[in-house]
Structure 1
Amino acid sequence: VESLTLPKFTRKYEKYRGGGMPGAVDVDLGLDDSALDTEFSIGGTELLLFKQMGKATVDGIQLRFTGSIQRDDTGEVQAVELVVRGRHKEVDSG
């Protein structure tokens, strides 16, 4: 994997103003529609990605990404693991 864009967790709110309320309040509706989107790019063409596009279930594919992050101030390195389940929305081979 050449690059990985982690999900940006954002909440979805809807304004609510009940009778007698002087102003509206935000009602929390959970995560935003695109809050769990993850993007990655690889070098070359991977035929398995095209085969996985045919999966019918919403959790048909499990991907595991591993790597590490390093602190700028201390140089400490920490292992990071990301496991995602779902389907591919787009495979761009070009």
Structure 2
Amino acid sequence: MGVLGVAFRFVVLGQLLCAMESSTDYSEALYEATMATITGSGITSTDAFSKALQLVLAMYSVVIFATLAGSLGAFFLQSQVEGKRGVNASRH
């Protein structure tokens, strides 16, 4: 369900770029919106809407990456804590 939500966002953002006349080609607008969301790369248009969209997408990609990194870190730290508890319990 999450993948469909992300794909839907890409399509909507591509349509917004076309609707706001930031891009004349829909396939290029869809490509730029997707790449800006995933990698944080820039959108080639220079109008105000494109710049604002690029800023929002860059923040979105940083938040998603930080969430994934934090989740992985918490998982590995939890495994270490549980492992130490098991070692200490077996010593007593």
Is TM-score (shorter-chain normalized) higher than 0.5? no
Structure of greater relative contact order (alpha carbons < 8 Å, 6+ residues apart): 1
Superposition TM-score tier, normalisation by shorter sequence: under 0.3
Which structure shows the higher helix fraction? 2
Query: Which TM-score applies when normalising by structure 2?
Result: 0.22
Query: Which TM-score applies when normalising by structure 1?
Result: 0.22
Which structure shows the higher strand fraction? 1
